[in-house]
Amino acid sequence: MFERRRQAPPCDVCKQVPTKSESGRFTCGCGVSFVWVNGVKGNPEERARFRQIGYKWISVQDGGYYAMSPYPWIYLFADNTWELDPHIEAPELLTEYLDSVEAIIAMR
Ligand SMILES: [Zn+2]
């Protein structure tokens, strides 16, 4: 399986993590922007891992899905990328991010 990488990592040029504007676009400090697209439910392996950690799949009114938990919500996209809402700093690889969430849960 290919590693799922973040859709909007910090910008190579200005190093800012893109943030969401009122228009729904994500923009970094130098103005590169992209539009949020509908999320998908991921492959069976990913779905099993999300379920194991305690995420629940929520369908969005205008289409698509996201994975909800007490932690930032996770969107998976059809192009094998992923993102967090809120859009905070996190590892580029989804597997690394999920490892960090599991470590937090294990400490409680
Ligand atoms: Zn930039």
pLDDT at position 36: 67
CB atoms < 10 A from the CB of 99, how many? Answer: 11
CB atoms < 10 A from the CB of 86, how many? Answer: 8
Q: For 28-60, how does the pLDDT look when each residue is reduced to its tens digit (9 = 90+)?
A: 888 877 666 789 999 999 999 999 999 999 998
> What percentage of the chain carries pLDDT values higher than 90?
48
Ion ligand 1, residues whose Cβ is below 5 A away: 11, 13-14, 28-30
pLDDT at position 17: 78
pLDDT at position 2: 61
Question: d(Cα 91, Cα 38) in Å, to the nearest integer?
Answer: 22
Question: d(Cα 54, Cα 105) in Å, to the nearest integer?
Answer: 10
pLDDT at position 22: 74
Joined tokens for residue 90: 């996190």
User: Across residues 62-77, what is the average pLDDT?
Assistant: 90
Kind and range of the H or E run holding 81: strand 81-85
2 φ/ψ angles, rounded to the nearest 5 degrees = -75, 145
- The rounded Å distance from CA 32 to ligand 1 centre is 6
- The rounded Å distance from CA 3 to ligand 1 centre is 24
Q: Would the pLDDT of 96 be above 80?
A: yes
Predicted structure pTM score: 0.76
Joined tokens for residue 10: 């910090």
Question: d(Cα 21, Cα 65) in Å, to the nearest integer?
Answer: 21
Confidence category of residue 85, pLDDT binned at 50, 70, 90? confident
